[in-house]
Amino acid sequence: MESVLDPKGEAAEDPRWRLVNRAIRLHGGAPDSLIETLHAVQEHFGYLDRDALKYVANTLQVPLSMVYGVATFYHYFTLKPSGEHTCVVCQGTACYIGGASNILKQINKNTGIDPGETTGDGKLSLLSARCLGSCSLAPVVVFDGQVAGRMTTEAVLEKIGSWLSDDHHT
């Protein structure tokens, strides 16, 4: 989304915008499809930046303030780009009493970041989830979209450590 304004219309060069436009068309460009549209943008770009919010506001003819209001109300939407890797620690009840808060604490000790933050080198984003519904596998951690159950602090730190020390990635 680093591109300058405009290249988002129907004939956009970026295929991601064409997919977003398709989603908007599917819902008939109705103002009430705002949440669905933001989902489409986030699915293709990973986050919602100011440009995207403005474009959605104009296309759906919804005030920008309302788009911003919705984007910040729901936890699922993020206004910041995420790091190269993401680690989501579930904080549902079963995971919590299974020691998930200690996992977060130790990650913080090792990397200095809290949920919602990204390391300075942009390698790791740490997130926490309300409940992933995989309570029987508690505690659950999701590494780059892969769900891993019955996690220990050691296993999580090892996985994160391998990401952080990996210099070959660009």
Partner 1 sequence: MTITLEELTDIARVEQDKQSEAKHSIKVCMAAGCMSSGSDLIKDALENEIKSRNWGDSCRVSRVGCLGLCAAGPLIKVDPENLYYKGVRPDDAGDILDALGGAPLDRLICPDKIPFFQRQQKVVLENSGVIDPERIEEYVARAGYRALYKALRSMTPKEVIDEVTASGLRGRGGAGFPAGLKWTAVSKGTDQHKFVVCNADEGDPGAFMDRSVLESDPHRVLEGMAIAAYAIGAQEGYIYVRAEYPLAIKRLKIAIRQAERMGVLGRNIFNTTFNFDIKVRLGAGAFVCGEETALISSIEGRRGTPRPRPPYPYEFGLWGHPTLINNVETLANIPPIIRNGGQWFAKIGTEKSKGTKVFALAGRVMNTGLIEVPMGTLIRDVIFDVGGGIPGGRKFKAIQTGGPSGGCIPEQFLDMPLDYESLAQLGSIMGSGGLIIMDETSCMVDVAKFFMEFCMSESCGKCVPCRVGTAHVYRILSNIAGGLGKMSDLETLTELCDLMKQTSLCGLGQTASNPVLSTLHYFEQEYIDHIQHRQCKAGVCHMAGIEEES
**Site residues, partner 1 (CB under 8 A):** 30-36, 38-39, 62, 66, 69-70, 73-77, 91-94, 96-98, 129-138, 140, 146-149
- Choose between 124 and 140: whose C-beta lies nearer to partner 1: 140
Q: How far is the CB of 18 from partner 1 (least distance, A)?
A: 21
Q: How far is the CB of 104 from partner 1 (least distance, A)?
A: 13
- Choose between 14 and 108: whose C-beta lies nearer to partner 1: 108
User: Longest C-alpha distance within the chain, in Å?
Assistant: 51
Using alpha carbons, list the distances in angstroms from residue 160 to 15, 105, 126, 165. Answer: 32, 14, 10, 9
- Choose between 63 and 112: whose C-beta lies nearer to partner 1: 63
Q: How far is the CB of 170 from partner 1 (least distance, A)?
A: 28
- Is residue 163 within 8 Å of residue 151, measured between CB atoms? no
Torsion sign over Cα 98, 124, 37, 34: positive
Torsion sign over Cα 100, 106, 111, 117: positive
